[in-house]
């Protein structure tokens, strides 16, 4: 009976060990002779274990979508649309105001004739999609407010859209195996991007961040052949509009300036030609969503100067063609990210072609074309966290981590063998099995091994051996109190087991909190520690017990126990 039990236990342990070894160093392809050589084992190990960015090198970016900008733009656009429609329909409108401060977004329409309010509201509703807004007419004003529930939905949509655009940009620029996911609580509108081993993190960072909001607008100016109307300061431009900018006008900077390369140099520190300002009509004739294609092409002057040629979708081309046809000799501006890049006068009807000139380099023109093709971000994004680890730093970290683990392991093994003699071998076997199964666990659960994760492994070495110390000390005590060897072993395990469970559960509790609520590095640490502790219940208790049983069964009567 005893013998059979022992056999079962031994078979179970051997099978689990072999499976563990296979998972850790076994190939994921048909095995060849090479898989049994040292270099083959190393290659398989490297292929099986997923390393974190801090160990293999790469970039980790946390960004936030500035959702309040979405509300602001929505408010301003809808306000100007309401004004245009109400005026075109000939309603008595005194003014349309947009309020975008303090988290409140409101459009206020004031009419001179209170009796026409309902008609105005109906007329506007037909032409502008105001489904998110709540309208409340009173006196001679209509106030549209954006309720909190609508804000939540819009912000959520914007974040999802930003995430899709970021994914397509990463894809277009050729980043291998990027990870894009939501980060933190949903209402924080954060996106996490992890890119392993990229060459130029700065460039990718700028590419992801590029708003690439393209608009074609009507520049308010006397028609050609007079030069386009520009102003030297923003105030000057505003003054020409009578002090305040009406809802259907925008004052935008206009500068024919050098584009910073997306490779990084902050544009603020470069010498730029002085900015000028122009007044444009709002809303734009068409925007970037009507874009069919965009590509970097060499500018007509040739040389190092580049421009972006774009083509419009049929719907956009119709709109654009109709407008240009009606506005020959007027000025049109190409606006990128709220800055007028170029102004051209309309010689004849244009349908679906256009270009953005602005002295781009080849790289910056290609990057801009790429971001234009992927679409404009619904709102600007800002980086909250950026961490980049070069491959050489990662390799250093692996080296120090492995070295520290080995030194710790060797010290512990030497002590156990010295102090507990024969039984120390039990502990050492248990410890090594624990290491193998922990790595196997990491691979099974597809968890990434990070530097704090290695720290968790080192700590597991210390804590795993504690179980053996507890058991051995207990067995010694029982022996001292005069028990026979088999019953001392039995009692030692039984008594120590209660303690081991309690200590393991408390540590798992604190690690679970780290895992569930912690961020990046904290989680990697918690994963290895939890895995190590759970496996330890098997290796330090079950396996070690089986080795003792095995020793007992070999001799009919055991005279002494090496402990």
Partner 1 sequence: MIQVFKDVKVDWLANRRVFIAISVLLMLAGLGSAVVRQWAPGGTEAFNLGVDFKGGTVVTVRFKQRPSAEAIRDALAASGASDAVIQPVIDKPDVVLIKIPLAGTSDAESQAQIDLGRSRVRTGLNKFGTEGDAYEIIGTDAVGAVAGAQLRNKAIAVTLAALVGILMYIAFRFEWTYGAAAVIAVFHDVLVTLGFFSIFQWEVSLTVIAALLTLVGFSVNDTIVIFDRIRENRRLHRRQSLYKITNDAINQTLSRTVITSGLVFLSVLAMVLFGGEVLRGFSLALLIGVIFGTYSSVAIASPIMVWWEQRIAAASKTSATVANRSATGAARGPSTGGRQPLPSGAGNRSRGAGRA
Closest to partner 1 by CB, 238 or 387: 387
The 3-state DSSP class for residue 309 equals strand
Q: What is the secondary structure of 439-457 as a DSSP string? A: HHHHHHTTPEE-HHHHHHH
Q: In degrees, to the nearest 5, what angle opens at C-alpha 400 toward C-alphas 398 and 401?
A: 60
Window contacting partner 1 (CB under 8 A); options: 336-344, 353-361, 386-394, 542-550: 386-394
Closest to partner 1 by CB, 42 or 399: 399
491 touches partner 1 (CB under 8 A): no
Q: Which H/E stretch holds residue 71? A: helix 67-88
**Per CB under 8 A, which of residues 294..333 are in contact with partner 1?**
none
The 3-state DSSP class for residue 323 equals helix
The binding track of 494-523 with respect to partner 1, each residue x by CB under 8 A or -, is -x--xx--xx-xxx-xxxxxx--xxxxxx-
Closest to partner 1 by CB, 318 or 385: 385
Sheet holding 291-298, edge to edge: 291-298, 306-312, 353-360
CB of 127 to partner 1, least distance (A): 36
**Per CB under 8 A, which of residues 196..255 are in contact with partner 1?**
none
CB of 523 to partner 1, least distance (A): 9
CB of 201 to partner 1, least distance (A): 8
CB of 137 to partner 1, least distance (A): 37
180 touches partner 1 (CB under 8 A): no
- Give the whole-angstrom CA distance, residue 140 versus residue 116: 9
Closest to partner 1 by CB, 119 or 385: 385
477 touches partner 1 (CB under 8 A): yes
Q: Are 332 and 346 in contact (CB under 8 A)?
A: yes
Residue 227 to residues 51, 219, 224, 345, 358, Cα–Cα distance (Å): 61, 12, 6, 9, 19
Dihedral of CA atoms 447, 449, 455, 457 in degrees, nearest 10, equals: 60
Both tokens assigned to 114: 């209170």
CB of 242 to partner 1, least distance (A): 31
- If binding means CB under 8 A, how many residues of this protein chain bind partner 1? 76
CB of 529 to partner 1, least distance (A): 7
CB of 153 to partner 1, least distance (A): 24
Q: Are 460 and 529 in contact (CB under 8 A)?
A: yes
Closest to partner 1 by CB, 326 or 407: 407
Closest to partner 1 by CB, 339 or 477: 477
**Per CB under 8 A, which of residues 521..560 are in contact with partner 1?**
521-522, 525-526, 529
Window contacting partner 1 (CB under 8 A); options: 235-243, 278-286, 468-476, 551-559: 468-476
452 touches partner 1 (CB under 8 A): yes
- Chain centroid to Cα 358, Å, comes to 32
| Binding residue for partner 1, selected from 122, 129, 269, 559, defined by CB under 8 A | 269
CB of 208 to partner 1, least distance (A): 14
Nearest to 329 by CA among 342, 345, 349: 345
Q: Sign (positive/negative) of CA torsion 214, 220, 225, 230? A: negative
| Binding residue for partner 1, selected from 50, 275, 319, 387, defined by CB under 8 A | 387
469 touches partner 1 (CB under 8 A): yes
| Binding residue for partner 1, selected from 90, 242, 243, 268, defined by CB under 8 A | 268
258 touches partner 1 (CB under 8 A): no
Both tokens assigned to 393: 């730093």
Q: Which H/E stretch holds residue 23? A: helix 2-25
- Give the whole-angstrom CA distance, residue 24 versus residue 449: 13
Residue 408 to residues 94, 143, 208, Cα–Cα distance (Å): 80, 70, 43
CB of 348 to partner 1, least distance (A): 44
| Binding residue for partner 1, selected from 473, 537, 538, 558, defined by CB under 8 A | 473
Both tokens assigned to 188: 């924080």
Closest to partner 1 by CB, 33 or 266: 266
162 touches partner 1 (CB under 8 A): no
Window contacting partner 1 (CB under 8 A); options: 15-23, 155-163, 338-346, 449-457: 449-457
Q: Are 162 and 175 in contact (CB under 8 A)?
A: no
The binding track of 112-151 with respect to partner 1, each residue x by CB under 8 A or -, is ----------------------------------------
Residue 159 burial (CB count, 10 A): 24
Dihedral of CA atoms 442, 446, 452, 454 in degrees, nearest 10, equals: 30
Strands (E) across 390-475 are located at 448-449
Window contacting partner 1 (CB under 8 A); options: 80-88, 259-267, 327-335, 548-556: 259-267
**Per CB under 8 A, which of residues 6..65 are in contact with partner 1?**
54, 62, 64
Window contacting partner 1 (CB under 8 A); options: 43-51, 316-324, 382-390, 538-546: 382-390
Closest to partner 1 by CB, 309 or 491: 491
**Per CB under 8 A, which of residues 392..431 are in contact with partner 1?**
392-393, 396-397, 399-401, 403-405, 407-409, 411-412, 415, 418-419
Residue with tokens 């170029």: 342
- Give the whole-angstrom CA distance, residue 269 versus residue 308: 25
CB of 423 to partner 1, least distance (A): 10
Both tokens assigned to 58: 């790469």
- Give the whole-angstrom CA distance, residue 493 versus residue 473: 10
Which DSSP state fits 177? S
- Give the whole-angstrom CA distance, residue 105 versus residue 155: 13
Closest to partner 1 by CB, 92 or 521: 521
């Amino acid at each position: 009976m005893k013998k059979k039990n022992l056999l079962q236990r031994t078979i179970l342990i051997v099978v689990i060990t072999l499976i563990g070894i296979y998972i850790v160093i076994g190939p994921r392809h048909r095995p060849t002779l090479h898989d049994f050589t040292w270099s083959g084992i190393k290659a398989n190990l490297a292929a099986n274990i997923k390393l974190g960015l801090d160990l293999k090198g790469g970039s980790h970016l946390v960004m936030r979508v500035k959702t309040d900008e979405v509300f602001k733009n929505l408010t301003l656009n809808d306000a100007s649309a309401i004004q245009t429609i109400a005026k075109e329909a000939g309603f008595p409108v005194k003014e349309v105001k947009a309020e975008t401060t303090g988290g409140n977004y409101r459009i206020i329409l004031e009419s001179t004739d209170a009796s026409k309010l309902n008609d105005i509201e109906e007329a506007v509703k037909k032409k502008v999609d105001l489904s998110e807004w709540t309208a409340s007419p009173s006196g001679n004003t209509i106030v549209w407010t954006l309720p909190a529930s609508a804000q939540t939905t819009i912000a959520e949509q914007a974040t999802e859209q930003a995430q899709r655009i970021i994914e397509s940009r990463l894809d277009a620029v050729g980043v291998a195996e990027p990870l894009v996911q939501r980060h933190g609580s949903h209402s924080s509108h954060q996106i996490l991007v992890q890119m392993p081993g990229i060459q130029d993190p700065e460039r990718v960072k700028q590419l992801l961040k590029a708003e690439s909001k393209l608009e074609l607008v009507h520049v308010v100016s006397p028609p050609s052949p007079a030069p386009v109307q520009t102003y030297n300061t923003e105030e000057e431009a505003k003054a020409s509009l009578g002090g305040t900018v009406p809802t259907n006008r925008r004052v935008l900077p206009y500068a024919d300036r050098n584009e910073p390369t997306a490779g990084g140099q902050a544009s603020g520190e470069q010498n730029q030609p002085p900015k000028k300002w122009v007044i444009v009509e709002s809303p734009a004739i068409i925007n970037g969503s009507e874009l069919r294609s965009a590509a970097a092409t060499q500018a007509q002057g040739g040389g190092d100067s580049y421009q972006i040629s774009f083509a419009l979708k049929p719907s956009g081309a119709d709109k654009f063609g109709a407008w240009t046809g009606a506005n020959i000799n007027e000025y049109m501006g190409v606006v990128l990210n709220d800055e007028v890049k170029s102004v051209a006068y309309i010689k004849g009807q244009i349908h679906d072609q256009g270009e953005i000139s602005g002295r781009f380099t080849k790289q910056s023109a290609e990057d801009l074309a790429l971001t234009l093709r992927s679409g404009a971000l619904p709102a600007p994004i800002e980086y909250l966290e950026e961490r980049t680890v070069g491959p050489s730093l990662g390799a250093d970290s692996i080296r120090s981590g492995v070295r520290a683990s080995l030194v710790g392991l060797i010290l512990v093994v030497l002590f156990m063998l010295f102090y507990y003699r024969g039984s120390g071998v039990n502990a050492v076997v248990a410890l090594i099995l624990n290491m193998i199964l922990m790595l196997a666990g990491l691979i099974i659960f597809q968890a990434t091994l990070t530097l704090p994760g290695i720290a968790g492994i080192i700590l597991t070495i210390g804590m795993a051996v504690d179980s053996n110390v507890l058991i051995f000390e207990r067995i010694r005590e029982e022996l001292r109190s005069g028990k026979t060897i088999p019953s001392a072993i039995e009692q030692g395990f039984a008594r120590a087991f209660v303690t081991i469970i309690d200590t393991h559960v408390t540590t798992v509790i604190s690690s679970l909190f780290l895992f569930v609520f912690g961020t990046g590095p904290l989680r990697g640490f918690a994963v290895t520690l939890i895995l190590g502790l759970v496996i330890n219940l098997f290796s330090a208790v079950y396996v070690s017990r089986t080795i003792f049983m095995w020793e007992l069964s070999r001799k009919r009567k055991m005279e002494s126990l090496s402990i």
